[in-house]
Structure 1
């Protein structure tokens, strides 16, 4: 449950002439930026949310059933102050029964078991309270995270100054609590004649901005 994106951004620019008398060569340009800053991301409990065994008799027939909640501590420590964000990537993308949650896998290849919703509980940066902001377009624009709002996979979460503006600030240490709620879909939608393995998986990325 630990991943990093390197601040090595390579841009390949290929140019070629389209005229009738085109030259017999073309240009390839490689550009990039390597940052000297290094950050480390850790998660509590080994990043494991174990629901144990769930009885079919405990599941609702017509509605999803909440089957557990787990809180994880996330901590980022950087050598120097850096602009960073957290991002959760769903490794079971396409298996969630709702669009703004993590998937829990499939039964028989086509029945979605359920979903795991996520919340980031208030952030702290360099031991001080900060505002949590969110981006749905890879950091192009930012907005405040409403209280108790659920996050979708691939939405960036970062820290901003209390009172605004809603822009990421440089931090050396960032901590947050990731709250995960697991739900199993309505029993009528699932083939539960055999034992079913709940197979949710996500990667938490720390992204340099």
Structure 2
């Protein structure tokens, strides 16, 4: 039995047992949606290689920008499907800098120092949904509350929020159903100031992130 189904079965069994001992009752409504087909996200590259950077090229007092990448994220669904996108940072806690939405970690030095950070932004100018222009909207983790859709680039969120794909600007009703999304990604990163890094040996950049598609 699926864990979710097992939890529901226990809750319902407890409710029935309780009703046998008291007159008061409570109704529980169970809702959900079965989607007709799954969606598959595919990135055009498997690795984002930011190159080799000499410690002599790092600024001592401020972050040093890395080369940028421009891969494409394709989401293919069997039929038009409503969903949101977000990231799971598998190196959580290692991102350098303030808590900006979408900030991803690059690992730590041997001295446990944060190496740097990177973002994966969706660029509407390089993106389409079912051949149409795309706008972006940021929603909460439930997909019930959404911000106003915009043509400005937006980072794929890491806080549990959802990035929705919209076909119009200036609306706050959330994502629309999409069958094929072609999303241009801007991958940009930085290395922390050299003054705060112990660089006696070569330090590998160790980022790892999962793109999560959430059905709405």
Q: Classify the TM-score, shorter chain.
A: 0.7 to 0.9
Match 2:188 to one of 176, 181, 192:
181
Structure 2 CA distance for partners of 1:9 and 1:170, relative to 1, 3 Å: farther
SS at match of 1:188: helix
Match 1:119 to one of 121, 131, 142:
121
Deviation string 1:135-187 (CA, Å, 9 cap, x unpaired) is 24342311135724444414311212314532211111111111111100000
Match 2:197 to one of 190, 195, 207:
190
Structure 2 CA distance for partners of 1:53 and 1:83, relative to 1, 3 Å: same
Q: Equivalents in 2 of 1:31, 1:136: separation in Å?
A: 19
Q: Equivalents in 1 of 2:163, 2:55: separation in Å?
A: 36
| Aligned 8 A contact 1:59 1:186 in 2 | yes
State the match for 1:73 in structure 2.
72
State the match for 2:145 in structure 1.
141
Aligned residues: 194
Deviation string 1:4-47 (CA, Å, 9 cap, x unpaired) is xxxx96563623678xx79xxxxxx998654322222111122x
What are the equivalent positions in structure 2 for 1:31-180 lying under 5 Å apart?
33-46=33-46, 48-98=47-97, 99-100=99-100, 101-108=103-110, 110-122=112-124, 123-143=127-147, 144-145=149-150, 147-153=152-158, 154-166=160-172, 167-180=174-187
Richer in strand (by share): 1
Richer in helix (by share): 2
Q: Equivalents in 2 of 1:147, 1:31: separation in Å?
A: 35
Cα distance, 1:127 vs structure 2: 0.2
Structure 2 CA distance for partners of 1:9 and 1:126, relative to 1, 3 Å: farther
| Aligned 8 A contact 1:9 1:31 in 2 | no
Q: Equivalents in 1 of 2:4, 2:185: separation in Å?
A: 28
| Aligned 8 A contact 1:88 1:155 in 2 | no
Match 1:205 to one of 203, 208, 212:
212
Query: TM-score, normalized by length of structure 2?
Result: 0.79
- Which stretches in structure 1 are left out of the alignment for 5+ residues? 1-7, 23-28
